[in-house]
Amino acid sequence: MAVIFDLGVQGAQMLLVLLLAPLLTGFTRKVKARLLLRRGPPLVQPYRDLVRLMRKEVVLADNASWLFRVNPYLIFAATWVAASLVPTFRTGLLFSWSADLIAIVALLGSARFFLALAGLDVGTSFGGIGSSREVMIASLAEPAMIMIIFTLALIAGSTQLSTMAGFLVSSAVGLRVSLGLALLALIMVAIAENARIPVDNPATHLELTMVHEAMVLEYSGRHLALIELSASLKLLLYISLIACLFAPWGLVPSGGGLGLLAIGFVAYIAKLTVAGALLALFETSIAKMRVFRVPEFLGAALMLGLLATLLLFVSRSL
Amino acid sequence: MVLLALACAAVLISTAALAVVVSDEARAGLIVYGVCLIASLALFSIALLALLGISDRPSAATLPLGIPWLGAHFRLDALSAFFLAVVNLGAAAASLFALGYGRHEDAPRRVLPFYPAFLAGMSIVVLADDAFTFLVSWEFMSLSSWALVMAHHRVGDNVRAGYVYLIMASFGTLALLLTFGLLAGADGGYAFADIRGAHPSTAVAASILILALIGAGSKAGLVPLHVWLPLAHPAAPSHVSALMSGVMTKVAVYGFVRIAFDLIGTPAWWWSMVVLALGGITAVMGVLYALMQHDLKRLLAYHTVENIGIIFIGLGLALAFKAHGMAWAAALALTAGLLHVFNHSIFKSLLFFGAGAVLTSTGERDMEHLGGLIHRMPQTAFVFLVGCAAISALPPLNGFVSEWLTFQAILLSPQLPSWGLKFLVPAVGALLALSAALAAACFVKAFGVTFLGRARTPAAERARETDRFSLAAMFFFAALCLVAGILPGFFIDALAPVTEGLVGDRMPVQGSVDWLSIVPIAEGRSSYNGLLVFAFMVLSGALAAWAIHRLASDKLRRAPPWDCGYPDANPATQYTASSFAQPIRRVFGSVVFHAREHVEIPPPGDGRPARLTVELRDPVWDALYAPIAGGIAFAADRLNHLQFLTIRQFLSLVFAALVLLLLVLAIWP
């Protein structure tokens, strides 16, 4: 019985992230528009876009290979699996032990690997520019993320996300310098990974500033829909990750009843709302930086992560 | 058991002799590679039986070979069995690949005799149980591989590659000779059993470790001793490149593990710092070098350097834990290193096979002249992609498992009491993470530029799919990448006897964990289940495909590429390997390689094209080898005068030398 319940929760989580992801994207767009004193598109616009893209035919470049057609499914699968393993409203998900935080980050790495290949497949210069910049950004963002994981794992004594969240919500942690550094680094990495301002601009179609958009330039129809959905999922994943590690209040431990689950769900929605609004506020208040400033930005994140890890190696209580 | 293994090696050596006679026959390749395939498979099964404990005790034998009153000792224990299995799995696949690939060989007489000898040499090294046999077979392995490197000696830079390789190999063997000299001590017991019994003093043990690092490290490709590797590995025929990169470097790792964990006794804690620092630097430098290359085989060779670094990080951590008496953690770190040995031997061989297939079908190694091969070589492209994903440590393939285990070992290291390690280990962890991320970038480039996009030359446009033997070898290794990635528990369990023998503990039994997860330390601390991750990915991908098939439009129209409205039909407008690496070259290369870009734009009205030249300097070559070569040239110049002395001066020189030597003898304690 308990297993069936757990299975149900895990299934609900998979469905929840899939359904909420476009809404989060729509919400940030809306808040951003309101901050710029525009009315902005309605909240459900991303869903409408997805449906419209799904209905349209795919226009495929003449020399696109089988890899180009398979890639959207691979990218979507890797991102969706990763997103379903991050606790949203309940820890101790049924399958959370099948991949720890390192594996989740590596799954996102797989998605990026195939996305970068997709950018090179048609053999256009814009695809190439996007891919080469994306791997440059990833080459610094990934080690920074690993350093953040080291910090958290050393504090919690585990690389399992559920265990980490459970430990961080307990009062045993307290305020720590290393946690502060890790949070700052994680936010910087999340901004870079999700192609947000100031690293990349999700709304741009100015050729020379594109990174993510340049890689997916040749995609259309259902392929593009899957890629867009994956991008939304990734944003949701990172916000859930930050929320479950640094604001784990309201997370329901495994075995919690339906009432607790309801509270946890409401808390999760509240966290997403706050995070989405903060992201929009941050993006409207800052300008995009030049591509070759990005390594400095991410290098700082890497150094913060390394410093936090070093502090913990020196003393367990810092 | 060990006698059986030696018999197989003897078969290989006699095949080499046979090949000298028959190599001009039309079917010589078929015979030689066929026999090599069978012998390697036999050796692999022997090693597997020994490793899995089906034949229990380590089996030893002494043959009346070599020095008359000493004999040649051989022994097959768990460590030898593991490396024998790695060597011969690679050898079997390379022989299978060569059954097809070898038919394109222009000068089979330069390859066929040396190939079985090379295989035999590598197998005997891991079986040797005394210093003499070890060194002789080590040299045998080096020289036969040198002959293979020189197989195409009229092509390009291959003569230089062979020259550098010969010098570095001799230098490495010299270091190993001194290592064994110190290990045997004054009484000179050269059998490994005697060496284990002798306990060298701290200072002697430290010099042994440094010498072993130089000797084995130069063969494995540790920075800064790697310079020969990216020259020599690509110069050989591709199946030999696969063996040299995938397997021979592992024999070198075996040499280091045998000396540092087995023969030398208890390690001092600071040894691990040397190994860890070298491993970390090697990992990052190797991948950065690889990113700057546009020769496919050279890129792969440089990437071997990176993976050797990762392996040495694992070994260094194991040494640190062993020195501090944390046997269970040492077992984890050593398992991570050895598992990476196995994994790397598989995907690196696979990638070299792929590069060989590309080379035979296009005649090109330079990625700037390739492109679009996925359309003309779809099967090769698929297996090459699997290899690229595996080496980039992407789940659910095998490269990720060993890197994950290394990360888990790093996370145990705050418990180490020494302060030096407390500062070094996090830095090495950052270097490891950096090299993993850069590796992914490197293989996006390698696959993307070679196989994707549009053909850049007519040669790439005319490419044809490779033969069935080559494809069989590649598909076999690609499947193994997946199997070792989703069922890592069985591979970890197979390593348990090795770690028990070397550090006195083993990782917890993985084969019986629920759902075939791997749990290196304890449940709740960390676990990974490649099988489930793979199943989830297949399921969700299939679910998405099904939903889209049912609900969405499945219409598809082919059209010219969009490219923001300005598609250019000229394939030269694509991104190339150099332009792909440009952002990374600018971020990392300007510091490490002093990368400079010069843009030359002709004045307005001048019709010449603008030119961009990139200048890279090799820091290791500049800082280490150039001064040494300069010093030798300088000394040779000065000493040249000695040729033109009169007879009186010669005689007085001889006299002075004699007096000097007698003085030394008199003063020597």
Tell me the chain A residues in contact with residue B373 when contact means C-beta distances shorter than 8 Å.
none
Cβ contact, residue pair A123, B574, below 8 Å: yes
Q: What's the per-residue H, E or C state across B143-164? A: HHHHHHHHHHCCCCCHHHHHHH
Cβ contact, residue pair B448, A131, below 8 Å: yes
Cβ contact, residue pair A218, B563, below 8 Å: yes
* The pLDDT of residue B56: 59
Q: Mind telling me how many Å the CA of B385 is from chain A's nearest CA?
A: 10
Q: Mind telling me how many Å the CA of B294 is from chain A's nearest CA?
A: 15
* The pLDDT of residue B331: 95
* The pLDDT of residue A256: 72
What is the DSSP track for A144-185? HHHHHHHHHHHHHT---HHHHHHHHHSTTS---HHHHHHHHH
* The pLDDT of residue B518: 86
Cβ contact, residue pair B454, A154, below 8 Å: no
Residues of A (4-33) whose Cβ lies below 8 Å from B: none
Give the A:B interface size as CB pairs under 8 Å: 283
Comparing alpha-carbon positions, the chain A residue that sits nearest to B531 is A98
* The pLDDT of residue B324: 92
Tell me the chain B residues in contact with residue A78 when contact means C-beta distances shorter than 8 Å.
537
Cβ contact, residue pair A124, B426, below 8 Å: no
* The pLDDT of residue B399: 94
C-alpha B626/C-alpha B638 separation (Å) is: 18
Q: Mind telling me how many Å the CA of A257 is from chain B's nearest CA?
A: 22
A103 touching B (Cβ < 8 Å): yes
pLDDT band at B55 (very low <50, low <70, confident <90, very high): low
Tell me the chain B residues in contact with residue A120 when contact means C-beta distances shorter than 8 Å.
444, 448-449, 452-453, 575, 580
C-alpha A167/C-alpha A156 separation (Å) is: 6
A43 touching B (Cβ < 8 Å): no
Q: Does the structure show a pLDDT above 90 at A207?
A: no
Q: Does the structure show a pLDDT above 70 at B427?
A: yes
C-alpha B431/C-alpha B413 separation (Å) is: 16
Q: Mind telling me how many Å the CA of A314 is from chain B's nearest CA?
A: 7
Q: CA-CA distances (angstroms) from residue B242 to B13, B32, B117, B526?
A: 20, 18, 16, 34
Comparing alpha-carbon positions, the chain B residue that sits nearest to A72 is B541
Comparing alpha-carbon positions, the chain B residue that sits nearest to A109 is B394
C-alpha A225/C-alpha A53 separation (Å) is: 6
* The pLDDT of residue B637: 93
Comparing alpha-carbon positions, the chain B residue that sits nearest to A221 is B553
Q: Does the structure show a pLDDT above 70 at A171?
A: no
Q: How confident is the model over B512-565, as pLDDT tens digits?
A: 887 788 888 887 788 899 999 999 999 999 999 999 999 888 889 999 998 888
Q: How confident is the model over A47-97, as pLDDT tens digits?
A: 999 999 999 999 999 999 999 999 999 999 999 999 999 988 888 777 778
Question: Where is mean pLDDT largest: A29-43, A156-170, B54-68?
Answer: A29-43
Tell me the chain A residues in contact with residue B372 when contact means C-beta distances shorter than 8 Å.
63, 123
Amino acid at A52: R
> For B528, which DSSP code?
B
Beta bridge partners of B63: B72
Cβ contact, residue pair A146, B429, below 8 Å: yes
The mean pLDDT value of chain A amounts to 90
Chain B interface, best mutation among A86, A115, A135, by max B CB count within 10 A? A135
> If you average pLDDT over residues B369-396, what whole number do you get?
95
* The pLDDT of residue A301: 96
C-alpha B5/C-alpha B234 separation (Å) is: 30
Cβ contact, residue pair A63, B454, below 8 Å: yes
A67 touching B (Cβ < 8 Å): yes
> If you average pLDDT over residues A267-291, what whole number do you get?
93
Q: How confident is the model over A232-246, as pLDDT tens digits?
A: 999 999 999 999 999
- Do residues A219 and A118 lie in contact, with contact meaning Cβ atoms separated by under 8 Å? yes
Residues of A (284-303) whose Cβ lies below 8 Å from B: 291-292, 295, 302
What is the bridge-based pairing of β-strands B556-559 and A58-61?
parallel
CA A267 to chain centre: 19
Tokens 């359309």 found at: B375
Cβ contact, residue pair A103, B404, below 8 Å: yes
Terminal-to-terminal C-alpha distance of chain B: 48
* The pLDDT of residue A52: 95
Closest CA to B368 of B303, B291, B294, B298: B294
Chain B interface, best mutation among A14, A65, A71, A293, by max B CB count within 10 A? A65
C-alpha B624/C-alpha A236 separation (Å) is: 50
* The pLDDT of residue A169: 79
> If you average pLDDT over residues B352-381, what whole number do you get?
94
What residue spans of B198-262 are helical by DSSP H? Answer: 202-220, 229-235, 238-243, 249-257
* The pLDDT of residue B606: 87
Comparing alpha-carbon positions, the chain A residue that sits nearest to B446 is A117
Cβ contact, residue pair A132, B580, below 8 Å: yes
* The pLDDT of residue B59: 83
Cβ contact, residue pair A123, B394, below 8 Å: no
Q: Report residue B58 as tokens.
A: 């380590």
Cβ contact, residue pair B444, A106, below 8 Å: no
Q: Does the structure show a pLDDT above 70 at A113?
A: yes
Q: Mind telling me how many Å the CA of A299 is from chain B's nearest CA?
A: 10
C-alpha B219/C-alpha B165 separation (Å) is: 9
* The pLDDT of residue A211: 87
Q: Does the structure show a pLDDT above 70 at A316?
A: yes
Cross-chain CB nearest to B544 (options A138, A218, A226): A226
Q: Does the structure show a pLDDT above 90 at B446?
A: yes
Q: How confident is the model over B491-512, as pLDDT tens digits?
A: 999 999 999 989 988 888 888 8
Domain ranges of chain A: 2-314
ipTM, two decimals, is: 0.95
Q: Does the structure show a pLDDT above 70 at A1?
A: no
Cross-chain CB nearest to B563 (options A116, A124, A302): A124
Chain B interface, best mutation among A63, A79, A213, A291, by max B CB count within 10 A? A63
Percent of chain B with pLDDT over 90: 72
Helix (H) or strand (E) holding A97: none
Comparing alpha-carbon positions, the chain B residue that sits nearest to A60 is B558
* The pLDDT of residue A8: 85
Q: Report residue A93 as tokens.
A: 């998900």
C-alpha B215/C-alpha A194 separation (Å) is: 46
Q: Does the structure show a pLDDT above 70 at A5?
A: yes
Cβ contact, residue pair A76, B532, below 8 Å: no
The mean pLDDT value of chain B amounts to 92
Chain A interface, best mutation among B564, B578, B588, B591, by max A CB count within 10 A? B564
> If you average pLDDT over residues B214-238, what whole number do you get?
93
* The pLDDT of residue B378: 95
Q: Does the structure show a pLDDT above 90 at B190?
A: no
> If you average pLDDT over residues B327-342, what whole number do you get?
95
Cβ contact, residue pair A136, B407, below 8 Å: no
Cross-chain CB nearest to B411 (options A126, A150, A295): A150
Q: Report residue A281 as tokens.
A: 């506020």
Q: What's the per-residue H, E or C state across B52-83? A: CCCCCCCEEEEECCCCCCCCEEEEECHHHHHH
Cβ contact, residue pair A143, B437, below 8 Å: yes
* The pLDDT of residue A202: 79
Q: Mind telling me how many Å the CA of A277 is from chain B's nearest CA?
A: 30
Amino acid at B23: S
Q: Mind telling me how many Å the CA of A164 is from chain B's nearest CA?
A: 9
> If you average pLDDT over residues B145-157, what whole number do you get?
90
C-alpha B319/C-alpha B311 separation (Å) is: 12
Out of A142-151, A307-316, B60-69, which region has the weakest mean confidence (pLDDT)?
Answer: B60-69
Comparing alpha-carbon positions, the chain A residue that sits nearest to B449 is A120
Comparing alpha-carbon positions, the chain A residue that sits nearest to B422 is A313
